[in-house]
Each structure stands twice: as structure tokens, then as C-alpha cells.
Structure 1
Amino acid sequence: MTLTTARSLAARVAETACVSDRFILPDGRVLDSYFDEYRLAADPRLLRDVADAMAALVPEDAEVLAGIELGGVPLVVALSAATGLPTAFVRRLPKRYGSARQVEGADVEGRRVVLVDDVVRSGGQLLAMTRILRIAGAPVSDGLCVLERPCGGRLLLHGHGVTLRPLLTEADLPSGGAAP
């Protein structure tokens, strides 16, 4: 991707999905701006363009892409369409009825899985999903996201053998754009 294309995509992502409004994080902290992955997913052209750009981040030896509920699901489906790789979906908790599965879709056992999510802040959610997939027999060593916030996630993941590959970092967003 050229620098001009990357800047244009960052501007489109910021305009569409970076929102100035009150947002409560899972740990109770309150932000005055955030990244709204649902706005990105609701824009078919932007979702396609983000997936096409993220396709370049997928390691060559990847066998399965795994989307984290809920924000990673539309991204991983679009990325699967862009790469031709099969997709799995990872829940935070096993389904309480039916199959009672925590990992759905493509078989992950023994296959090189790349995790996909919308935003990485502390890295805790990506690490928890990595553990679930590793217990299921999937060697996970890479995580992709649309946006990385500098909140320690990269370091945490690196300490557990996961390389974070963000499409954008907070620094890539146009100045004045709301950050998650």
C-alpha cells in the first residue's frame, strides 16, 4: 500500500469509526472517544478496503483466520473473502446450548491460526482468545487488528509469543480524529 493510500484509508477509518462520545471500557475506565467497529463493519466499501489492506499483514503460512466475538467477526469474514483462507469464530465463553462450543467454523486443531480483532489496547482479550485456541490445539503466534492503541498490548502479547500486526496505530490517525 502506498503512503497516500494508507493515509487515505486512515482518514476514512477515522471519519467513519472514530467517535467522540463517552465510552466505558471493560475495566471501568471512561474514555471521551472510541473506535466503533460496528460503523466500520456497516460501511461495505470501507470494510472491503480495510480487509484488502489487512490481507497484506496475514503471514504466508497462515491456515485459518479466527475472529474474536463480536468486533472481530465482520472483519474476519471480510478478510477471509480477501485471502481465501477459512475462518473460525472464538467466543469468550462456550455456547450454553446446542453445540456448547467455544470455537466455531473451520477446524483449528494443528493448524496455524491468526487471530483477528478490531482494536488492541491492553492485549488482554487477544491473549485470552490465544489461550482458548492453543488449548484447542492451534498454534497461534500472530494477531491482526485494525487499530492498535499504545496501552501495553503489544508488549503483553510479545511476552506470550504473539506478534501483533496492526493495520493502523493511533499515530496513523489524522490529528484531531477521535481515538478509541
Structure 2
Amino acid sequence: MTDYKKEVAQALLDIQAVKLQPNDPFTWASGLKSPIYTDNRKTISFPKVRRLIANGLAELVKEQYPQATAIGGVATAGIPHAAWVAEVLDLPMVYVRSKPKDHGAGKQIEGAITSDDSVVLIDDLISTGGSVLGAVDAVRREGSEVAGVLSIFSYELPAADTNFAAADTQFSPLTTYSALLDVQKTAGVLSEEDLNALQEWRLDPKAWSEQHSN
């Protein structure tokens, strides 16, 4: 049986979709300093990796949301993965824009779902959950049920747990920040000091950023 958590974490590292630099932090668009940078859009250019991800996400749908009748991609990075998962499972697929179109019928959801549908939404990354929960709201406004949310990767930030709980929404990542660190630890790539710094960031990214901004 495939250990998707470990294999996907290793694959993301191999193609440099995820980079760890605890001693030379990245600066995110928000201005926060971070020891990790993630660009899961790179996965679409690697057939073996995208197939691994599609099969892993499809397994999660079957295990956790067997009632699902449609797969939804969260714009923009979740769309191709949702399409591949929908193909694996032979289910209808829709995608959810970040906001309604400002012309025509003003649709936010492209494709066809009804009030009878139970939708699994797919995104590439869960940070705090803000963008994907906006898509959850859009699907619910259409009258459809959201069975749950899946992602390729999750930072496992406490804020995400809080936000998903507040939205009464289940979510499951295919792989996680902890799995990523385990893979790197097993490979002997990170020192104990580096691992401690990376764990501290996950618990409080803002405080970590402030400490590393000088």
C-alpha cells in the first residue's frame, strides 16, 4: 500500500515545489519571514508526481467522503488536480472562482452542481484556510453540500484548525509539514537545531517572523 503522506512529501522536495531554509528565511507576500516556501503549481509539470497526487487524493475521497457526487477545484491552483481526481473517480467536476464574475450571469462556480450534490473541494495548499473556506461558502450558497476539503499539502498551522472548526468544515491534507520534516530528518538533511526552528515556526509563524526579521 502506498504511503502517500511520505511519498508525496518526498516528491514535493525532489521537484523543489517545497523548499526549507531555516537559516535563510523566505519573505512571503504578506511580509512575514518564513523558513518554508511552497509552490505546488510546479507539480503539474511532472507527470509522475501529478499522478501520485491524483491517486492519493482520490483514495482520500473514497476513504473519507464516499458520499461525494462531485469534485470541485479551488481557483487557481486546485483546478488541475480536481480535474485529474474527478477523472480517476469518474465524477463530475466544477471549479470555484475566487470571486463572482463581474459580467454575464456573475457566476462564481463554473460547471453544474445541484442541491442534491455533495462536493469535495480540492486546493493545492492549506495555510490558514481562508481562500478555500471562501470557496466552501460559495458552494453552500448554491445550495450544495460540502462533504469536505482536501489539499496536497498543509502547513498544519493552529489558525487553520480554528478556521475550519468555525466553518464546520472537515479537511484532510494528502501530506503535511510534519511529514516533510520527518522525511528530511530521516535523510539526515536537517540538524536538531534546524528541526527545532522549523517546529517553532509552525506553532507561531508571526512570532517566528519577528524573531528573524533583524
- What residue number does 1:169 align with? 176
- What residue number does 2:19 align with? 19
Residue pairs, 1:35-46, within 5 angstroms:
35-46=38-49
Whether the aligned pair in 2 keeps the contact of 1:65 and 1:76 (CA below 8 Å) is: yes
Q: Distance in 1 between matches of 2:59 and 2:155?
A: 20
Q: Distance in 2 between matches of 1:117 and 1:64?
A: 15
Q: % of aligned pairs identical?
A: 25
* Greater alpha carbon shift after TM alignment, 99-108 vs 114-123: 99-108
What TM-score, normalized by structure 2, do the two folds share?
0.74
3-state DSSP class of the match of 1:56?
helix
Whether the aligned pair in 2 keeps the contact of 1:154 and 1:164 (CA below 8 Å) is: no
Residue pairs, 1:78-117, within 5 angstroms:
78-117=84-123
The aligned amino acid for 2:102 is R
Measure how far apart 1:83 and its partner are. 1.1
More helix by share: 2
The aligned amino acid for 1:13 is L
Measure how far apart 1:144 and its partner are. 0.2
Whether the aligned pair in 2 keeps the contact of 1:115 and 1:144 (CA below 8 Å) is: yes
Q: Distance in 1 between matches of 2:95 and 2:114?
A: 10
Residue pairs, 1:115-134, within 5 angstroms:
115-134=121-140
Highest Rg: 1 or 2? 2
Q: Structure 1 runs of 4+ off > 4 angstroms?
A: none
The aligned amino acid for 1:79 is V
* Greater alpha carbon shift after TM alignment, 6-15 vs 73-82: 6-15
Tell me the alpha carbon deviations over residues 65-101 of structure 1, each in whole angstroms, 9 at most, x when there is no partner: 1111001011101111111111110001112234431
Measure how far apart 1:128 and its partner are. 1.2
Q: Distance in 1 between matches of 2:115 and 2:51?
A: 28
Q: Distance in 1 between matches of 2:45 and 2:2?
A: 25
* Greater alpha carbon shift after TM alignment, 138-147 vs 167-176: 167-176
The aligned amino acid for 1:114 is V
- What residue number does 1:144 align with? 150
The aligned amino acid for 2:55 is D
What is the RMSD computed on CA atoms of the aligned residues?
Answer: 2.3
Are residues 1:33 and 2:36 paired?
Answer: yes
Measure how far apart 1:6 and its partner are. 4.4
Match of residue 50, structure 2, among 47, 52, 62: 47
Are residues 1:72 and 2:78 paired?
Answer: yes
Measure how far apart 1:22 and its partner are. 3.7
When residues 55 and 101 of structure 1 are mapped into structure 2, their CA distance, relative to the original with a 3 A threshold, is same
Unmatched tracts of structure 2, length 5 or more? 191-197, 203-214
